[in-house]
Structure 1
């Protein structure tokens, strides 16, 4: 149980076996409810959904939040693929294994948001709606001012750092603590950082989490099994979609996100679902009920 979870909001843990990896998932809500799959990003874990998960469960959803491939207690993928296309396939696999239907929705933050946007753009996606946080559709982030782009280039230094061999693995604890402090200034992230460091305790898991960035820089290396998913990995959803963004996000410039159609949440940084859980919960439940 997470330290701040009461018995009423504590999740159960379920295992979802997929062709190349078994995902360990947190779950809330009635087993026969419509499926809501919640995907975390970096550097984070499924515990990032400890507020939104119980709220959606109270609204009748069967909420499933995987620790995505490479993050313990989920496995390191046997095929070694860490492209967004593989994350898309995993999200579809969760839907299939758990018997999701046409009501299913996908919610994602950071890398989870990229995955949700990509699936929202793919005609074979089983998800009827998507909600994304902290990363709006990649193709929508155009037309920003030179000043915004220059600032974003400085903010995105870590994407280049994570391309280096070995050094990011050796300094992952320092990197995780720094990013939480800079991306969500003022938020007490001790519990969340502890979850991340536990998920990345083993070298193979560390390399897998950092491998998301390395794979993104090598789109030509996607496994053939995921190439059809890969074609929309930078796409804009064609299903109903809601994009949310912290107005004080230190990871992706809020002005760029707003121009891309995101709703800004005041008083929140990058991890808005933790910093402003009531406001984010209201926006998400209103959207899903509309």
Structure 2
């Protein structure tokens, strides 16, 4: 475990591989943690990559430097955290890989600061930048059903439920979102320790309220949020990986976000994989990192 001050955070992160290798920054989602990349980092380190795997804000040992900083979970904050981490570590350019919240942070940096990104691997929703201005438009009923937890978090009952039952609730989400992944209690517990972070509940609740325009964002990242409202394209070499059994986003034969990618682009739907893509299919994920890294050389 390493710690570094980066922006408004003191970030905890894991590192593997040669210090002089090409850099891959791997970003976890909700409700997961850095252990989602244990197998991926071993594979990439063996292929010469320097892997950086940070705990996002509100997870594990990562802490806010000031009690006055808003405990925001919005997309602009996640992207800004990633950029600040790269600056703090002196990383000029890296391959970015992520899913869920981590995929969103990676997409934000790839879209707004493409000169810092050698390539992108994004899982689930390929173009993972939220269109908050249109978030009030309903989706089809099946999609709305899968988002029940997001609406739950809009209520005081949901806040209390996450506070009291964070392990039971997140364990349920793991099962619902990856219905064909057989994971043991020890695997879950290893990641669930990260949810004991004192800011976890506040950051999570803000994330799921902000994306629907229910609450205001952090003024410190408002300029970034305004840029994201333009739905900027992603020009770096990109691979989108989707689990055919993803219980959150599902999978569709139609690639609905391909037009958002203007550079080299490939999409793959992988059978037998759910939402936690890198932990369920580490070889596919690692191969995609190498693919976009070579494309961006």
Deviation of 1:213 (Å): 1.5
Deviation of 1:191 (Å): 3.5
Aligned CA distance change for structure 1 residues 77 and 191 (closer, same or farther; 3 Å): farther
Residue 24 of structure 2 is aligned to residue 36 of structure 1: yes
Deviation of 1:217 (Å): 3.1
Aligned CA distance change for structure 1 residues 240 and 140 (closer, same or farther; 3 Å): farther
Aligned CA distance change for structure 1 residues 70 and 108 (closer, same or farther; 3 Å): same
Selected match of 2:275 from 266, 270, 274: 270
Deviation of 1:17 (Å): 0.6
Match of 2:201? Answer: 206
**Aligned 8 A contact 1:134 1:271 in 2:** no
Match of 1:3? Answer: none
Gaps of 5+ in 2: 132-138, 259-266
Selected match of 1:180 from 174, 182, 188: 174
* Residue pairs, 1:28-67, within 5 angstroms: 28-67=16-55
Which 10-residue stretch deviates more, 261-270 or 39-48?
Answer: 261-270
* Residue pairs, 1:95-110, within 5 angstroms: 95-102=86-93, 104-110=94-100
**Aligned 8 A contact 2:120 2:289 in 1:** no
Match of 1:14? Answer: 2
Deviation of 1:139 (Å): 6.8
Question: How high is the TM-score relative to the length of structure 1?
Answer: 0.84
Selected match of 1:82 from 44, 66, 73: 73
Deviation of 1:140 (Å): 10
SS in 2 for 1:254: coil
Residue 127 of structure 2 is aligned to residue 122 of structure 1: no
SS in 1 for 2:283: helix
The answer to which structure, 1 or 2, has the higher relative contact order (CA under 8 A, 6+ apart) is: 2
Question: How high is the TM-score relative to the length of structure 2?
Answer: 0.82
Aligned CA distance change for structure 1 residues 139 and 21 (closer, same or farther; 3 Å): closer
Deviation of 1:279 (Å): 2.6
Gaps of 5+ in 1: 1-12, 142-147
Residue 228 of structure 2 is aligned to residue 232 of structure 1: yes
Q: Distance in 2 between matches of 1:283 and 1:54?
A: 15
Q: Distance in 2 between matches of 1:197 and 1:285?
A: 29
Residue 154 of structure 2 is aligned to residue 163 of structure 1: yes
SS in 1 for 2:141: helix
Q: Distance in 2 between matches of 1:19 and 1:288?
A: 26
**Aligned 8 A contact 1:69 1:77 in 2:** no
SS in 2 for 1:85: helix
Match of 1:280? Answer: 285
Deviation of 1:60 (Å): 1.9
**Aligned 8 A contact 1:138 1:236 in 2:** no
**Aligned 8 A contact 2:237 2:292 in 1:** no
Which 10-residue stretch deviates more, 186-195 or 35-44?
Answer: 186-195
Deviation of 1:105 (Å): 1.4
Deviation of 1:287 (Å): 3.0
Q: Distance in 1 between matches of 2:276 and 2:104?
A: 15
Match of 2:135? Answer: none
What do residues 145-197 of structure 1 show as CA deviations (whole Å, max 9, x unaligned)?
xxx83211111111111222223222222211111111111323333421332
Match of 2:60? Answer: 72
Q: Distance in 2 between matches of 1:107 and 1:257?
A: 23
Which runs of 4 or more aligned residues in structure 1 lie more than 4 Å from their structure 2 counterparts after TM superposition?
138-141
Q: Distance in 2 between matches of 1:65 and 1:266?
A: 26
